[in-house]
Each structure stands twice: as C-alpha cells, then as structure tokens.
Chain A
Amino acid sequence: MVKNMKDPKDTRVVIGMSGGVDSSVAALLLKEQGYDVVGIFMKNWDDTDENGVCTATEDFEDVIRVCNQLDIPYYAVNFEKQYWDKVFSYFLDEYKAGRTPNPDVMCNKEIKFKAFLDHAVSLGADYLATGHYAQVREKDGQFEMLRGIDNNKDQTYFLNQLSQDVLAKVMFPLGHLEKKRVREIAKEHDLATATKKDSTGICFIGERNFKEFLSEYLPAQPGEMQTLDGEVKGKHDGLMYYTLGQRQGLGIGGAGEPWFVVGKNLKENILYVGQGFHHETLYSDALIASQINWISGKMPAEKMECTAKFRYRQDDSPVTVMVLDDDKVKVIFHEAQRAITPGQAVVFYDGEVCLGGATIDEVLKNEQALTYVG
C-alpha cells in the first residue's frame, strides 16, 4: 500500500476485531509492520440468553487475549442501535417484502465502513483495518478494490458498496494471503484464536436455527405448496423460510426427481415447487438491479461487458450491463442463470477488480419479469 506517507509508528490503524482468527492475524500483521495499532471490538447485537451467556462476551474475551499477546490496546464500541436501525430493520423489511436480504452487505455499508469508520476517525485513526479477504490498490489517486488472492475466501462480494472515500482509509491486511496461511500464522504465533472455529451464518443469528430466529420477529403464515399447475403438494410454514432453488425442508417424497422451490406467490401465500435441480422455472436470462454503487465513483460505461456474481462464492458469469437510469441497471446474462434471487447483491468484476454492485429487484426471462420469484 503506497497511500501512506507517514512513518508506520506515527500511523494509527484502528482494526475491527471480532475475536476470530482472521482479524487476529490482521492485527498481528499490522503490529509487525510497526503501526500504532488499536484493536476495537464492535458489539452490534445483544444475544444474551436466559442463562446470561452472550457470545459477544466470549468473543470479546478472545479479543482481549489476542490484544494482550500483541501488546496493543483494546476497546469495545456499541453499535446495537445503529445495527438495529440500519441493518436489522432492513433485514426484516426485505423478508416482509418476500425478498432475501443480504445483511452482511448492509452491515459493511452502514456499520463497519460507516459508523465504525467514523468512530475510528474520532480516535485519531489514519486507517481502518479489517480482516476481510480483499485488496485495495491505489492508481493515480483512484482506489480500486481487488479480490482477495484466496479465491475461495474472497469477500469483495460483501464489500461491493464501498466508496472511494472509504477505500482511501481502509486496509485489508489479509488480502494477499490464503486462508490456510492465515491459520498457519496464527498457529506460529500461538495466538489465542489460532484454532477457533470460523463463525458461520449471519452474525446475529449465529449457530441458532434460522427459522426459529425469524419466527421471533415476523409472524409466519403457513400456506399451500403447489406445483405451477396448481397441484397441491403439501403445506409450507411461511414463505419467508424458503429461498428460490432450495431443496431441503420441503418434505415432499415420492417418485421421480427431488423437489425444489421454484417460486413464491406472495399475494396468495403459495409456495411453488417443481421437480429437478434444473427446473426450467428457476432459470432466467437477465435482471434489473438498483441501489448501484460503482467503486470508482462513476458508471464505467452506458453499456459494458464484464463478469458478475449473483451470490457469494459463486463463479463469475459473463454479463452485459446496461444503464437504465441513475439508479437502475439491466444485467443480461450470456448464459441462463439458475435461482437468481431478488434482494441479493449482483456484483460486477473486471478481471480481479471489483467494479461495484447493486441489489437485485427483478428477474427476467425473454424480457418478461418473472412474477413468482422471491
């Protein structure tokens, strides 16, 4: 990174520490590079259970242990209110609207790289660092975000809403490392989190049952499961519990190929199911997306060829992107895509460079919007 002109020891880097191995190693690397490193744990969610046990407390304990090993100061900051207002409310609203939200994208946009960045700046930080697998490159005063070199771990999909202003202040110390190497470094330094399991799932749900969690906040409306021809195949527990292309949890047996969710009818509360992974209803050839962010700060071209990801850890697919208006693009797939899901992010790439992303609103087939997707 060349953007920093100051001596590392005079450069304060605030690093967001989750108590996981990635941010622990990121902090270690910064410390080794000689920066004035300050570790901060974000408390975004209170999950204290009836026994008073809170995973945030456990995680903060790990942050303390690692920071003491590295001899860096550690603090915590509470963003529960901001998280509720900006991320969780959005999360519930999207489900209510029959869509599948991406709280991680929103959390990065509104909390980690906004509220938390502001907090870091208020602490005199020159940079904010996180343990994300992504890279920042400066080119003629412009910042580019590149995929992490570990293709399997690359997290640019979740970071697609970052702006130039943010990238100017951000460091991703793990971007050039393979996850395997990160674990090794943690073990070599005997970091307290070296063998800690990676967290899975959405942070506020944690290891809990997703269905149970959601039912605490949104009333579930059970209804019928039908084929597209109207044949009743069973009952569903509430449309919000299902995503397009899902196979598990349908409970439809019988002969032939397995059954999949192929659509939702929000109005009539019907879950459409069909047989076969490659059920034709799941396939589309274009999408409309809004809430676009171009990392460069401007739309690269009115019409462009690039690649896109429609979900995390998916291979890129070649697409044509056409600007419809200020906040709307049409993305045409070169090959039909399966189970494109409204509410999820579509993220654009030019080789290793992440160009930006948008939120999927509509899914098209033969220029017709698919009605039953959600």
Chain B
Amino acid sequence: MKAIYLDHAATTPMHPKVIESMLPVYQDVFGNPSSVHQFGRKARRILDEARRTIAKSIGASEKEIIFTSSGTEADNLALIGTARANRGKGDHVITTAMEHHATLHAAKQLEKEGFRVTYLHPDKSGLIGMEELEAALTEDTTIVSVMTVNNETGMIQPIKEIGELLEKHQAYFHTDAVQAYGVLDVSVAAMKVDMLTVSGHKINGPKGIGFLYAKEGTQMQTLHYGGEQERKRRPGTENLPGVKGLQTAVQVMLEERESRMETYHRYKKLFLETLEDEQIEFTINGELENMAPTIINLSFPGMNVETMLTNLDLAGVAASSGSACTAGSVEPSHVLSAMYGKEDARTINSIRFSFGMANNEENVVDAAKKISQVIKRLSE
C-alpha cells in the first residue's frame, strides 16, 4: 500500500532539481563565505547569486534579504527583533489569533517583556476585518503582523489593504508568507509590507533554510550574537547548500507557479467532488473564493479529529489537523477556535488536506475514497 501524502502545508517533498543543485555545493563548495581566500569567494558567489534570485522574486533588493534557519526564526526576528529595537516608539503590537505559533509564541514572549499585544480575531470565513484592525491601531503600535495565507484554512488575508492602511502609520507591517509564497504573486511593493517571512521546505526546497525580507531602514535587534553574517542581523556561518536549494526551489516555483496552481485547484475540486459522490457529510472551513488552491480544511460532523487522523494514517492517507500537538495528542485548533469560538464542534472535527507535488489526479481521488470509507465505518 503506497501512502498518499495530503499534508503539503506541513512540509513538501524536495524537487529533484533542488537536490541536483545542492549536491555540487555539498561536494565541492565547502568554503566559508566570509573567508578572504578563493575558497571563501567561491562560496560567497553562490550565496550572492541565491540572494539575488530570491530578492528579485519578491521585488526586493539583495540587502533586504536575511537568511534564517526557518520560517519560525524569521517570524521571531520580525516580531521580537523589531519590537525590541523600536521600544522608544511604542510598546504595542498587533497580530491575529490565527497566526502560526512561530508568530503567536513570539508575541507571547513580547508580552512577557512588557509589550501589549492585541490579537485580532478573524470572522467566520477566516478573514481579518479592516475595521477591527483600524480600531486596534494606536499611536504606540510599532508592529502589525498578519499572515498572508492561513496555514490551516488557506484563507488569503487582505494584505494589500492592510499595507495601504499602515502606509501612513509608524507601525512596521510584517506578513508571514510561508504558505503564500509559491501560491500567490508575492511582491513586497504591491503588498506594501515592511517584513515578510518565507520558508524553504514549504516550496519543495530543503529544510533548515528560510528568509526574512526586511525593508531597508527597518530597525531590528538581532536575536543571535556572533559574526557579521547577514549584516549582523543573523550571525552564524551560512547554510550554503540550503541557500542554494532554496534558490533553485524559488526558480522552479516561479516557472511553474501558475500551472501548479491550476493543477492544485483541479485536485481540490476533484477531491471535494469525490467526497460528495460518496455522500460524505462535510462543511468547508473558510470560503472557496479567498482560499489558496493548495489547502482545504473540512469539518466532518460527528467525527473526532484524533480518531480520524489515526484511522486515515492506518488506511494510508496522511493529513493533519494543522494545529499543535501536545504529547502527540491533537489539541483543538486555535485557528478554528478564533473563527468559530472555543466550544464549536468544528474545532475538534476538522481536518486539513493540502495538495502538492506528491499528488496526481488518481491519488487525490483514491484518498477521497479512502477517507469516505473511514468516515462510513466510524459512523456505523
């Protein structure tokens, strides 16, 4: 039985071209990019080229790209590093209750340090409202952080509108674009963001690499201490094979993004149609119109997420609830709780399916049928 992977929002398989591009770096380019000799220069060239490709992909300049170990680190740097450096301008941070824990827990840390944090709640469709944001803004607000695409529901947030609103405000605007980059056309100018987070392994790149875009002039304290790398904002010898792999993943993604999105859109449609054909009772968490084609979050009334996920895995379908686990057990989704309220059954009967490179029409339909079987058996 070949297991079917429907969890691309958690991580993605590496693209063969990515692996191919990394191998020579592992084999031949061991130099330290900071070294003043030719071994160092050879490495530095790879770093610079990658930075150029990546900066270009979002319409930024090379100096504005900070390589990090992960999306989490980039989010941490954006929130904590920036809030600390701008304390003189205020101590208020705005984010949303449905952010990834990389942002939420960074915000919690800021609260411990004495910052005030406002957590905006999405509406029932999973979108952040402009009125709530406007109402929350104060003179002391130094950072607004709203994710571009929610990792559990796939809902695309009104980033451009928020960017426009904040244009005249002192607050830096950060967006976690980990789920968006690779799906949407991400342009920092069009989105009017000051900071933006991307992770390599969500776009068929390697794990252990990500970056933060920080607009020229953004005041930021480092969270690490060491050498001069990344213009002191992120010291530590660069993960060169990772950087190379990320560059390739970005190149491949830019070439294929449009066709991929059409494909994933079709997969999602097929998937939902199959469930309907099987007469499975479900509702969609979020609205199809404003949703990334890669993600669909479904509520199955009467089911329990933990029982379902375990059953699905045993039946060869890998999906997830999208939310955190403690001691391996699935906690009610904080995203769905933010949308529907803590007591709503959808917080404990919903599953996120996410499409990507490991899928084809056949295995998507096959997965939907297996899911239907499990649900029918559990409903008996």
Hey, which bits of chain A sit against chain B, CB under 8 A?
38, 40-41, 43, 46, 48, 54, 56-57, 59-60, 63-64, 73-78, 119, 122-124
A40 to B331, CA, bound (A): 16
Residues 323 to 355 of chain B near chain A (Cβ within 8 Å): 325-331
Residues 12 to 54 of chain B near chain A (Cβ within 8 Å): none
A48 to B311, CA, bound (A): 28
User: Are A56 and B327 in contact, CB atoms less than 8 angstroms apart?
Assistant: yes
Give every chain A residue within 8 A of B73 (Cβ-Cβ): none
Task: Flag whether B130 is at the interface (Cβ < 8 A).
Answer: no
Task: Flag whether B138 is at the interface (Cβ < 8 A).
Answer: no
CB distance from B65 to the nearest CB of A (A): 32
User: Are B311 and A43 in contact, CB atoms less than 8 angstroms apart?
Assistant: no
Task: Flag whether B75 is at the interface (Cβ < 8 A).
Answer: no
Task: Flag whether B219 is at the interface (Cβ < 8 A).
Answer: no
User: Are A122 and B311 in contact, CB atoms less than 8 angstroms apart?
Assistant: yes
Given A56-B326, A60-B327, A77-B307, 5 new contacts (CB under 8 A)? A38-B314, A43-B329, A46-B326, A75-B306, A76-B327
A76 to B330, CA, bound (A): 8
Interface centre among B325, B329, B378 (most CB of A within 10 A): B329
Chain A minimum-CB-distance residue to B307: A122
- The total of Cβ contacts below 8 Å across the A-B interface reads 54
A48 to B327, CA, bound (A): 11
A38-B314, A119-B307, A122-B307 given; A75·B328 CB < 8 A:
yes
Nearest 6 CB-CB pairings of A with B: A76-B328, A78-B329, A56-B327, A76-B329, A60-B327, A43-B329
Task: Flag whether B237 is at the interface (Cβ < 8 A).
Answer: no
A78-B306, A119-B307 given; A73·B313 CB < 8 A:
yes
A41 to B326, CA, bound (A): 11
A254 to B307, CA, bound (A): 60
Task: Flag whether B170 is at the interface (Cβ < 8 A).
Answer: no
**23 A-B pairs whose Cβ atoms sit less than 8 Å apart in the complex:** A40-B310, A41-B327, A43-B328, A43-B329, A46-B326, A48-B326, A54-B327, A56-B326, A57-B326, A59-B327, A75-B306, A75-B310, A75-B313, A75-B328, A76-B328, A77-B310, A78-B330, A78-B331, A119-B307, A122-B307, A122-B311, A123-B310, A123-B311
Give every chain A residue within 8 A of B310 (Cβ-Cβ): 40, 75, 77, 123
| Size of B's binding interface in residues, CB under 8 A | 15
Interface centre among B310, B327, B329, B331 (most CB of A within 10 A): B327
User: Are A54 and B314 in contact, CB atoms less than 8 angstroms apart?
Assistant: no
User: Are A77 and B306 in contact, CB atoms less than 8 angstroms apart?
Assistant: yes
Hey, which bits of chain B sit against chain A, CB under 8 A?
306-307, 309-311, 313-314, 325-331, 378
User: Are A74 and B326 in contact, CB atoms less than 8 angstroms apart?
Assistant: no
CB distance from A367 to the nearest CB of B (A): 51
Give every chain A residue within 8 A of B307 (Cβ-Cβ): 77, 119, 122-123
CB distance from A272 to the nearest CB of B (A): 43
Chain A minimum-CB-distance residue to B328: A76
User: Are A54 and B328 in contact, CB atoms less than 8 angstroms apart?
Assistant: no
CB distance from B326 to the nearest CB of A (A): 6
Interface centre among B310, B330, B378 (most CB of A within 10 A): B310
Chain B minimum-CB-distance residue to A43: B329
Give every chain B residue within 8 A of A41 (Cβ-Cβ): 327-329
User: Are B327 and A57 in contact, CB atoms less than 8 angstroms apart?
Assistant: yes
Give every chain A residue within 8 A of B329 (Cβ-Cβ): 41, 43, 76-78
A64 to B310, CA, bound (A): 15
A54 to B331, CA, bound (A): 15
User: Are A124 and B327 in contact, CB atoms less than 8 angstroms apart?
Assistant: no
A56 to B327, CA, bound (A): 6
Give every chain A residue within 8 A of B325 (Cβ-Cβ): 76
Interface centre among A38, A46, A73, A77 (most CB of B within 10 A): A77
Give every chain B residue within 8 A of A78 (Cβ-Cβ): 306, 329-331
CB distance from A247 to the nearest CB of B (A): 37
A57 to B378, CA, bound (A): 28
A222 to B336, CA, bound (A): 46
* Residue in B306, B311, B328, B331 whose CB lies within 8 Å of A74: B328
User: Are A54 and B326 in contact, CB atoms less than 8 angstroms apart?
Assistant: yes
Chain B minimum-CB-distance residue to A48: B326
Interface centre among A60, A75, A119 (most CB of B within 10 A): A75
* Residue in A43, A48, A64, A124 whose CB lies within 8 Å of B314: A124
A54 to B328, CA, bound (A): 12
User: Are A73 and B327 in contact, CB atoms less than 8 angstroms apart?
Assistant: no
Give every chain A residue within 8 A of B309 (Cβ-Cβ): 75
CB distance from A42 to the nearest CB of B (A): 8
CB distance from A103 to the nearest CB of B (A): 20
CB distance from A176 to the nearest CB of B (A): 29
Give every chain B residue within 8 A of A43 (Cβ-Cβ): 326-329
Interface centre among A54, A64, A123 (most CB of B within 10 A): A123
CB distance from B365 to the nearest CB of A (A): 23
A78 to B330, CA, bound (A): 7
A212 to B19, CA, bound (A): 56
Chain B minimum-CB-distance residue to A80: B329
Chain B minimum-CB-distance residue to A46: B326
Give every chain B residue within 8 A of A77 (Cβ-Cβ): 306-307, 310, 329
Give every chain A residue within 8 A of B311 (Cβ-Cβ): 122-124
A243 to B331, CA, bound (A): 38
User: Are B378 and A122 in contact, CB atoms less than 8 angstroms apart?
Assistant: yes
A41 to B309, CA, bound (A): 15
A60 to B325, CA, bound (A): 11
CB distance from B272 to the nearest CB of A (A): 25
Give every chain A residue within 8 A of B328 (Cβ-Cβ): 41, 43, 60, 63-64, 74-76
A299 to B330, CA, bound (A): 42
A238 to B378, CA, bound (A): 48
A123 to B311, CA, bound (A): 6
